[in-house]
Amino acid sequence: MASKVLLTGASGYIAQHITSELLSHGFKVIGTVRRQEQADQLHKQFSDDVPALQKDPSLLTYVLVPDMGAPDAFDEVLKSTPDITYVLHTACPVGPNDDRALEDVFFKPVVEGTKNIFNAIRNLANDSVKNVVLTSSFVTLMNADKAEDKSFIYTEKSWNNNTWDQIKNRDELLAYTVSKTEAEKGAWDFVDREKPNFKLTTVHPPLVFGPQKFDVAAKKESLNFSAEIVGSLLRTKYPSDDKLFDDVVTLSVDVRDVALYHVLPLLNADLASKRLAVVQGKFSAQRILNIINENFPELKGKIAVGKPEETARLEALKAPEYNNSVTVGLTGVDPIPLEKTVVDSVKQILRARK
């Protein structure tokens, strides 16, 4: 009998790829979404994509959790499905879409939502849940005091030291950073204090790139934050945009690797109680532009070229230094190269927007 996995935030960009990865490994997936129309659309899309679902639609079900910041947000899900073995908590906003206070947009759903799912598991599913995987972020590893220090190397042991008191005006990035850090610290503190039956693993991706799970999502004029970097470069003009594209320089990872890293702890006991830093490598908007121009001759003369010769120097100067050898050693996974990530993304966008 297939083990059941509760996947929160199942409509998200990363979570849709996690759903695919779980189904390919024979798990039964219960995903949480906010609205019924999301549930209906996703089930149809996956049914068209996964032959096993056509034979047994119950391998993938969706339940409504309108507000994961509510104290009892996940209680009904766990009560109605008492034999859940694994929980993957991915639900998280990327940025505010309204004028609410940052505490309401970030702190409540991220920090309180994480606290709520852990309390619900302890109270209602402590005997059945074996592993919990939390989607953290590489920002929780990034020490703010070392931001300009190229001699400092970020590892799985690093921690962000920003606090909520440092947030001024509507600094959404800092609010996101602090919320993710406090949520992860709260998760580890919970495990240390409550000593539940389940083991915790956290996954730490930097900026996430790669194709949408379904082409229809790539038709949108504006994609989610990370993926939109590729979309925005496709809208540049030749030769007017001849600057060095240095506005985004950091670390990257392919969304399909992020999905895999969420499933590996369910298959490999050695990944329990670990922080997994899943990183592809350094990147810049200029490097992505280089890849597009090198691989899509039909776009040459239409999109910007920038200054390709400056790419390596730019990334060496601005991208953070990291060492995730512990993660690589534990998983044995070779990351998908950035070139494949970008090529697959651009092919999908061009295909979807014909």
Which residues are part of the catalytic machinery? 180
Can you tell me the distance from the alpha carbon of 342 to that of 349, in angstroms, rounded to the nearest whole number? 11
Closest by Cα among 51, 39, 48 to 11: 39
Which DSSP state fits 56?
-
Cβ-based neighbours of 16, under 8 Å, separated by 6 or more: 10, 42, 212, 213, 214
Helical ranges in 25-50 per DSSP H: 36-49
| First vs last C-alpha separation in the chain | 43
Report which secondary-structure segment, H or E, holds 175. helix 172-194
Q: What's the alpha-carbon Rg for the chain, to the nearest Å?
A: 20
Q: From CA 86, how far away is CA 41, in angstroms rounded?
A: 24
Single-letter amino acid, residue 308: P
E-strand ranges in 77-232 read 84-89, 131-135, 153-154, 199-204, 207-209
> Residues 116, 186: contact at Cβ < 8 Å?
no
Please give the Cα distance from 35 to 41 (Å, whole number): 10
- Among 121, 123, 148, CA closest to 133: 121
Q: Give the three-state DSSP class for 84.
A: strand
CB 324 within 8 A of CB 156: yes
Going by DSSP bridges, is the β-strand pair 249-254/281-284 parallel, antiparallel, or unpaired? antiparallel
Structure token pair of residue 113? 């939502």
